[in-house]
Amino acid sequence: MRTTSRYRATVRMIAAIGVVSLAAACSGNGGAAGGGDAANYPDENITIVVPFSAGGPTDTVTRMIAGPMAAKLGGKIVVQNVEGAGGTVGAGDVARAKPDGYTVLMHHIGMSTAPALYKSLGYKPLEDFETVGLVTEVPMTIVARKDFAPATLQDLVTHVKANANKVTLANAGIGAASHLCGLLFQSTTGVKLQEVPYQGTGPALTDLVGGQVDFMCDQTTNTSGQIAAGKVKAYAVTTPERVKSLPDLPTTTEAGLPQLTVSVWHGLYVPADTPQEIVQKLSEALKVALADQGVIDQMAKLGTAPVPAQDATPDAHRAKLDEQLGTWAKIIADSGVKVS
C-alpha cells in the first residue's frame, strides 16, 4: 500500500510538472487560453451541436457543410441534435464545453434574441462564445391561407389594422423564426394581433393550408414548397433582393414595407477561450465548404445561398451578432414577450 501511494504521488507530481511546463511554453510562445493543441487539430472527431430537431432548417444547413468542412480539416465531423427551450439548451451545453475546438455550435438568429426573450438564460452570447463565421441568411416569406381576402402586402397591412382583434397570426412557438418575424411585422405596422403559437412549423403550416389561421411569416426553407404548389397565398419575401427560387414574389421593399427586412442568419460558434489558431482553422474550413458547388446547389433548392467569403469570418460574425442583439432587444421589449 505504501509503495502504491508513493507511486500515485509520483505520477501526480510528474503530471503537475507537465502541466506547468505546458502552461509556461504556451505563455512563452504567446499561446491562447483554452489548452487546445492547435498544431495537431483535429486529432479526434469534432461535434457540431444543432440546438434544434433533426430535419429542420438549421440541421439541414449544418449537414450540408459538415462533409466539406471535415475534408478540409482532415478529420470527421459528427452532427448532434440537442433540442429544448428554443435552442437555449444546446447553446448552453456548448458554452460550458471544453474550449478545445471539438465542440462547435450551429445556431441561427435565436442567438441574438434569446437574451431578451429568456429571464434566466445561463450564458451571454458575446462573452461565452467565440464566433467562427456566418454561414447563410435564409429569407422569410409572408404567406396566408389561400382564400384570405387581402391581395397584396399593402392590402394585408390595411386589413390587419382594421381587423386586429379578428386576424390570427400563426408561428412555430416562442423564439422561433416565424415568431420573431411576426413580432417585427407587428412592430413595423403598429398593430397588435392575435398570435397562435404551435409546436413547430409543420403543424402551423398545416393549419394555414387548412384555413384554421389567417397568415404567418416563415423561412423559405419551410414555405417554398407550399407557395410553388399554390397551397398558400404569398405576399412578399423579407430580403432586399428577390429569391431565385421564387422569382415572381416581390420583396417587402417593392411591396411598400421596407422596414420589414429580416432573414434567419446562421453562424458557427465555439466556447470562449478556444485558441485563436483553432478558431481560424474552423473559419477557413467553413469558407471552403461555402464555396463547394454541391453546397451552393443544395442551398439554392432551399431558397438561400452561402454568405460571401468575407462574412464567413469571426470578426464579421461578431459584428452581426452585436448589431442583432441590440435590434431584437428593443423589438422584444416593446412586444412584452418574456419566457421564464
pLDDT of residue 337: 84
CB-based contact 110:86 (threshold 8 Å): yes
Question: What does the alpha-carbon distance between residue 159 and residue 153 come to, in Å, rounded to a whole number?
Answer: 10
> What cell numbers appear for 145 in the block?
391561407
Cell matching residue 162: 382594421
274, 280, 282, 283 alpha-carbon torsion, rounded to 10° = 130
Integer Cα distance of 238 and 293 in angstroms: 26
Pairing of strands 232-237, 46-50: unpaired
Q: What is the pLDDT of residue 173?
A: 85
Looking at the DSSP bridge assignments, the partners of residue 103 are: 47
C-alpha to C-alpha distances, 317 to 11, 54, 79, 111, nearest whole angstrom: 44, 24, 21, 12
CB 158 within 8 A of CB 230: no
Which distant-in-sequence residues (6+ apart) come within 8 Å of 5 by Cβ?
Answer: none
> Which residues are within 8 A (CB) of 221 and not within 5 positions of it... i.e. 6 or more apart?
57, 60, 138, 302, 303, 304
- pLDDT per residue as tens, the chain (340 positions): 333 343 333 334 333 333 333 333 333 333 344 445 788 999 999 999 999 888 888 899 999 999 999 999 999 999 999 988 888 999 999 999 999 999 999 999 999 999 999 988 999 999 999 999 999 998 999 999 999 999 999 999 999 999 999 999 999 888 888 999 999 999 999 999 999 999 888 899 999 999 999 999 999 988 988 999 999 999 999 988 898 889 999 999 999 999 999 999 999 999 999 999 999 999 999 999 999 999 999 998 888 899 999 999 999 999 999 999 999 998 899 888 888 6
Q: Which helix (H) or strand (E) holds 77?
A: strand 77-81
Q: What angle do CA 167, 173, 176 make, to 5 degrees?
A: 105
Peptide bond into 139 cis (omega under 30): no
| Alpha carbon distances (Å) from 340 to 110, 119, 121 | 16, 5, 9
Assign 249 to helix, strand or coil: coil
